[in-house]
């Protein structure tokens, strides 16, 4: 579901929710709205508060202060079993002595469903995750990816209002993790259910999410779409945590202009910062253009010269680092076949960028 679509109801609303463990503040007072049907990712480094936030919503712990609403119903102190929230864990949490069918059927049995209903719903859930025919296998007879699918089937079998996933792909290898990302995205589209997903993997978050809630030291650093966090970070932490960034230190030298500490003056998009204010200019490598020999920079673009310091071949793209003097090193990416000769170490290069692609951050 597109985050631009209007939502008639909020799946989850946090109002001033905080959490302390003794004298340690794990989550600062937080307001957060999760829209019905969206895929929201809680992203951040270890200790940032993302797992605390997940456990508060799931009901595993109660907040020190604030309220948690589910469809405008106060569930702050409602037991987890009564919240209608499904959970998928990183370690799968499958019962090894049970078959796949029995593992998936377990939530229905504890809810008192009839044998016919259990059989029908289990088969439907297994078919959704591509495990039809695996009913009689034990978890030990399955691969890690298949076990993860069993965990997902067990979660969706009772149609929870919200599905929460706590780093569910962390134990998988790269290829399987990418495959499971696609499957989880497809499942989200098919079910139309609200997903809240926890990860520390920025690429995973950018690939899967409608919105990302980036956490840092117990509070929300920025909440927005993947595009917004990547191309319009609101702080240096966001710029450095999400993807790769070029950071140029300097100060405001005049209206719409910046004097770089390493030398040179650059045009900025509109800024209200006062002359002399210390700032950092961020440009993503994709926005930094490597000029070909004889090519001129577009009118109004910022231009900087340097020499190739090193390259990294990453398939169809080549990552190029250029020394621009006074310790300033900039990174750009270009199509490999276009830069093979121009990317040799020591080769002079010219880089340019549109002022609109530079993001000004406070220092």
Q: Which domains does the chain have, with CATH numbers?
A: 10-240 (3.40.50.300), 245-362 (2.40.50.100)
85-88 β-sheet, strand order? 85-88, 162-166, 194-199, 39-43, 211-216, 219-224
- Using only the alpha carbons of the chain, give its radius of gyration: 25
260 vs 281: CA distance, rounded Å = 9
Strand 359-362 and strand 348-353: pairing? unpaired
What is the CA 266 to chain-centroid distance, rounded?
31
Question: Which tokens go with 73?
Answer: 């119903």
With a threshold of 0.75, does the pTM exceed it? yes
**CA proximity to 161, closest of 73, 55, 37:** 37
Q: How many other CB atoms are there within 10 angstroms of residue 73's CB atom?
A: 9
- Are the C-beta atoms of residues 230 and 223 closer than 8 Å to each other? no
26 vs 61: CA distance, rounded Å = 12
Question: Which tokens go with 267?
Answer: 């045009």
Q: In the chain, which residues have pLDDT < 50? A: 1-8
> Please, which residues bridge with residue 254 across strands?
257
202 vs 59: CA distance, rounded Å = 26
pLDDT at 7 (0 to 100): 42
Residue 172 DSSP label? S
- Are the C-beta atoms of residues 44 and 200 closer than 8 Å to each other? yes
**CA proximity to 240, closest of 282, 198, 207, 210:** 282
127 vs 133: CA distance, rounded Å = 9
Q: How many other CB atoms are there within 10 angstroms of residue 222's CB atom?
A: 21
First to last CA, the chain: 36
pLDDT at 284 (0 to 100): 95
301 Cβ contact list (under 8 Å, min separation 6)? 289, 352, 353, 354, 355
Strand 278-283 and strand 289-290: pairing? unpaired
Residue 57 three-state SS: helix
pLDDT at 9 (0 to 100): 65
pLDDT at 3 (0 to 100): 43
119 vs 129: CA distance, rounded Å = 16
């Amino acid at each position: 579901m597109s985050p631009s679509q209007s939502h008639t109801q909020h799946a989850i609303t946090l109002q001033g929710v905080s959490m302390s463990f003794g004298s340690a503040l794990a989550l600062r007072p937080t307001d957060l709205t999760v829209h019905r049907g969206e895929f929201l990712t809680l992203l951040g480094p270890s200790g940032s508060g993302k797992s605390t936030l997940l456990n508060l919503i799931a009901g595993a712990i109660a907040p020190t202060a604030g309220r948690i609403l589910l469809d405008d119903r106060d569930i702050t102190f409602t037991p987890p079993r009564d919240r209608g929230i499904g959970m998928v864990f990183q370690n799968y949490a499958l019962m090894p002595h049970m078959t796949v069918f029995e593992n998936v059927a377990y939530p229905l049995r504890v809810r008192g469903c009839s044998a016919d209903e259990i059989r029908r719903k289990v088969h439907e859930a297994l078919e959704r995750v591509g495990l039809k025919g695996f009913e009689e296998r034990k978890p030990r007879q399955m691969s890690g990816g298949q076990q993860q699918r069993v965990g997902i089937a067990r979660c969706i079998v009772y149609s929870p209002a919200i599905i929460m996933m706590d780093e569910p792909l962390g134990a998988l290898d790269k290829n399987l993790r990418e495959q499971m990302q696609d499957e989880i995205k497809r499942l989200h589209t098919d079910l139309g259910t609200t997903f809240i997903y926890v990860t520390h993997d920025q690429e995973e978050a950018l690939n899967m999410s409608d919105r990302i809630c980036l956490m840092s030291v117990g509070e929300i650093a920025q909440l927005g779409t993947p595009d917004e966090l990547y191309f319009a970070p609101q702080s240096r932490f966001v710029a450095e945590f999400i993807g790769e960034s070029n950071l140029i230190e300097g100060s405001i030298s005049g209206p719409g202009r910046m004097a770089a500490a390493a030398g040179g003056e650059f045009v900025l998009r509109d800024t209200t910062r006062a002359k002399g204010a210390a700032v950092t200019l961020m440009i993503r490598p994709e926005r930094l253009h490597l000029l070909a020999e004889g090519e001129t920079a577009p009118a109004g673009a910022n231009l900087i010269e340097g020499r190739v310091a090193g390259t990294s071949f990453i398939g169809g793209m080549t990552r190029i680092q250029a020394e621009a003097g006074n310790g300033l090193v900039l990174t750009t990416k270009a199509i490999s076949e276009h830069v093979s000769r121009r990317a040799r170490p020591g080769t002079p290069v010219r880089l340019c960028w549109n002022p609109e692609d530079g993001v000004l951050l406070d220092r």
